[in-house]
Chains A and B, each alone.
Chain A
């Protein structure tokens, strides 16, 4: 019966093409910034079944029969626009939509229209508008987009309070994070309690949980594409004062509306209270971070836009004159050029720098341990619309990466006259990754069926100078001394193919079925156990003894819009197979060890699961509830006796409930509740004496679990100013972990005086209330 319905629907759709038809094409742009509005809906009001979506350039095409029509253009967070037209010939136009003030409306945090989620031949994608998350309950009163992402189906926090996240059984290092197309390697402030993304400087975020477009790649599990916010031509100031941090942003125009800027900064002042501490060591400590964002946008003309994004942020923890400093710097310059109404060009030049150093200097001691990663990239993206049924994307990217995994130099002048010197260095490593890609989004049967296929071809090169260590199949060094590679020499390369496929079938106006397949390759590897945003991370590129990790993911799902798009439902299934997945031998030596190849182990992994989501999109109530069932396993020769074991990310059951209610126009109440199965844990089952200590004996890795994680947060957002006035201010009162759940962060063995062992957990947070005051004018 269902088959007959589908065929009838396809037939009716096809029959439309037999009439006298005209093309309506054009763009949908932000009326303030001129940014394209991807996913905006262009609908023929007198024929509700005929509508289309603007692509990522804001471009749309629509076929409509001759005669009078009322056209409506809508986009979440913007005032809808309507206009009357008579279809007598092909027609081209540009729609400018005016953004609504987020403080006055009830909207979801999702920047994607329900129609877009239904129609697009892509799945496992979440788009979040940074302006819309103000009311989500926060830790320490600081709104953080990463923490919102952690509440989406298929996504979980790597650990309590962390900015790291795991997607569909992957590990945190398998997530590519781009900020204006520049690759970021560590996005944590204060050990992960904050991310580096200042909400005032971010436009929106798109998280691809596996079905990654062909133009992107480089990580196995997900892509988080963060776009910076543009400044508006009208001068505006936004600020916020919280318990431990404050922020300020200024935006406006420079001379003309075509040249706008946005500058945003944050700084914590937790260390201001440290002098009040009882312990001297705490009083002398320094703990703070800051970050600065800058964005310049120049509309040269209707066909040319030039944007510049800058970021600099730093954390410092120190006791007296010795401490750790780490941070990111980033610059991105891009040029968007409309070559013709059917051909678009986006060119990006990016540079990122992540570094940490542990340094100190006293009369006797000098110490400096540094590590850094630099990534310089160029990407050129073309988008070609040959006809109303196809959109072809193609281009290339090139990234050169410099890795300084660690250099520690220390010296101490002893009073006896002797000098203690240490110089431990890991050799630098460089790599070049070049990518060519192509993809096409093909609409069939009057958009009832949409097909997306693409291919990504990568060439990876290792470049000198370095000292190359190779290991045999037993991970023993082939040459103890290594081989010295001169500067600039390309000494090893690999090729990779990454096919991508997506299919969407609209089985009824409100229901679509989707399928997707993606193969991804990862050429850089994180040497860290940390699940808590450690700054001391070491990345290395692939090399002759470190093969690229690869992933193949199959996913399918059903998507439905209910009650005129007010409600959404989706159910997705996924299966992911990982090859050359990285793990470490037991008790590896990862810090400052140049022959690191001997410590690595490679194997296979698999994860699978199902994600269910019900979401309310508008009105006084909104929010979502999601349930994810997800399993993740690894099989790595040399680890766990070669037997399959649970990955650290194996947490089968996960529930996220996010709800918000407008008590009045000025008061909004929001609540989160998060539950997940406890993290896998390795526990000793036996013990014996050695060196007057009881040494634990294990039988299997990760065969036990920590207690389940759950937490409820609550926030109240109170608008203090009168609506409509330029001066606006609001108070956000949040309570993190409302019922004081003791969620374990670390587990350690302890022994009673009787010799009996027990487990002790460390938990980070009890009930954490916070208040922040935000203003704008």
Chain B
């Protein structure tokens, strides 16, 4: 129905066709690049602990993992943020961004250690909330009303003009979409159903008794578990950043994949990363009793 979904199907077909193909470790590594400054932060309309994070890149094929570094000063709309931990600058425990408001991030840091501070900045305007009004759990099997696998259907009123949507899933208050590959980016945006009441199925989350989790583990589901979906109306730069980052983290196939490239951020001054925002609302459904779903 949408391009990514069709590609998913076609990819399955491709995998079948190439079921005789194999994989092997490729003994090839890139050169190491000079460290670059990374600034990331997203503001949400949902009250909570929100931060700006400063870090530096590390070589891609090295064993070292990126770690945070401190800036000399970090401000949003001229107000200096509190330094909570290495590289972490907080807006407060219950900060909530305001719809329609523009926020300007400024960072001063002597990253290149030449004794002179460099200046970096970015702006984001918080989008208007599109409230999640409908959340449905539908069996994907023909003739079945209550049977796994399920798909979650989101419904809300779109507004005229470009809007950008994403969605996050929590199960029993544990964030399942805590990694970008488990976060849903709605790629149709405004050009498909502009200004209409939109329903869309989240094809990324096929609800069974066990969802894929990290390191080959599964996230097991039981009757009565609560599924909470947060619909996020994203600022344009945040949406594009998420989309590109997700592409970069996805499997590549010569049939569909383009050349790899940098995820484009909006930080001025040559730093990597992003300063974005979103407006969010939530709804919850409870997993019903059904064949194939165990009782806790």
Q: Which residues of A contact B (CB under 8 A)?
A: 159, 190-191, 274, 277, 281-282, 285, 287, 317-319, 322-324, 358, 362-364, 367, 369, 408, 410, 412, 414-416, 418-424, 529-534, 536, 584, 586-595, 648, 682-699, 701-702, 704, 706-707, 742, 744-748, 753-766
Per-position contact with A for B193-206: 1 when CB-CB < 8 Å, else 0?
10000011100000
Rounded to whole angstroms, the CA-CA distance of A706 and B27 in the bound complex is 10
On chain A, the residues within 8 Å of B183 by CB distance are 691
Query: Number of B residues whose C-beta is below 8 Å from A?
Result: 89
Q: Which residues of B contact A (CB under 8 A)?
A: 1-3, 6-7, 9-10, 12-14, 16-26, 28-33, 35-36, 38, 40, 55-63, 65-66, 134, 136, 138-139, 142-143, 145, 153, 155, 178-181, 183, 187-188, 191-193, 199-201, 215, 242-245, 247-249, 251-264, 272-274
Rounded to whole angstroms, the CA-CA distance of A566 and B253 in the bound complex is 45
A347 nearest CB across to chain B (Å): 39
How many A-B Cβ pairs are below 8 Å?
267
- A760 near B13 with CB under 8 A, answer no
- B13 near A285 with CB under 8 A, answer yes
- A761 near B63 with CB under 8 A, answer no
Rounded to whole angstroms, the CA-CA distance of A561 and B187 in the bound complex is 60
- A322 near B139 with CB under 8 A, answer no
Specify the chain A residue showing the minimal Cβ separation from B154.
A420
Known: A534-B256, A748-B252, A757-B60. 7 other contacts (CB 8 A): A317-B10, A415-B139, A423-B192, A682-B260, A686-B33, A687-B59, A701-B261
Given A587-B243, A763-B22, does the pair A424, B10 have CB atoms closer than 8 Å? no
- A688 near B248 with CB under 8 A, answer no
Rounded to whole angstroms, the CA-CA distance of A718 and B244 in the bound complex is 55
B124 nearest CB across to chain A (Å): 16
On chain B, the residues within 8 Å of A531 by CB distance are 254
Specify the chain B residue showing the minimal Cβ separation from A358.
B6
- B136 near A416 with CB under 8 A, answer yes
On chain A, the residues within 8 Å of B32 by CB distance are 685-686
On chain B, the residues within 8 Å of A763 by CB distance are 21-24
- A697 near B33 with CB under 8 A, answer yes
On chain A, the residues within 8 Å of B138 by CB distance are 414-416
**Chain A to chain B contacts (Cβ below 8 Å), 9 pairs:** A191-B17, A324-B10, A408-B2, A532-B254, A688-B55, A693-B249, A754-B63, A761-B24, A762-B18
B40 nearest CB across to chain A (Å): 6
Specify the chain A residue showing the minimal Cβ separation from B14.
A191
On chain A, the residues within 8 Å of B262 by CB distance are 586, 697-698
- B35 near A594 with CB under 8 A, answer no
On chain B, the residues within 8 Å of A363 by CB distance are 142-143
- A319 near B25 with CB under 8 A, answer no
A107 nearest CB across to chain B (Å): 35
Of B142, B155, B179, the contact of A692 (CB 8 Å cutoff): B179
Of A323, A532, A701, the contact of B13 (CB 8 Å cutoff): A323
Given A323-B13, A762-B23, does the pair A698, B261 have CB atoms closer than 8 Å? yes
Rounded to whole angstroms, the CA-CA distance of A595 and B190 in the bound complex is 13
- B17 near A685 with CB under 8 A, answer no
- B245 near A687 with CB under 8 A, answer no
Given A358-B10, A587-B247, A696-B248, does the pair A690, B40 have CB atoms closer than 8 Å? yes
B209 nearest CB across to chain A (Å): 17
Rounded to whole angstroms, the CA-CA distance of A584 and B257 in the bound complex is 12
Specify the chain B residue showing the minimal Cβ separation from A366.
B1
- A686 near B143 with CB under 8 A, answer no
- A685 near B60 with CB under 8 A, answer yes
Given A697-B57, A698-B261, does the pair A688, B30 have CB atoms closer than 8 Å? no
- B60 near A745 with CB under 8 A, answer no
On chain A, the residues within 8 Å of B20 by CB distance are 764-766
- B30 near A704 with CB under 8 A, answer yes
Rounded to whole angstroms, the CA-CA distance of A412 and B203 in the bound complex is 13
B277 nearest CB across to chain A (Å): 15
On chain A, the residues within 8 Å of B181 by CB distance are 693
On chain B, the residues within 8 Å of A687 by CB distance are 57-60, 66
Given A586-B264, A693-B179, A698-B262, does the pair A764, B18 have CB atoms closer than 8 Å? yes
A600 nearest CB across to chain B (Å): 13
Rounded to whole angstroms, the CA-CA distance of A290 and B17 in the bound complex is 16
B180 nearest CB across to chain A (Å): 4
- B23 near A684 with CB under 8 A, answer no
A85 nearest CB across to chain B (Å): 60
Rounded to whole angstroms, the CA-CA distance of A412 and B200 in the bound complex is 10
Specify the chain A residue showing the minimal Cβ separation from B200.
A420
- A418 near B21 with CB under 8 A, answer no
Given A323-B13, A408-B1, A756-B61, does the pair A764, B30 have CB atoms closer than 8 Å? no
Specify the chain A residue showing the minimal Cβ separation from B134.
A418
- A418 near B155 with CB under 8 A, answer yes
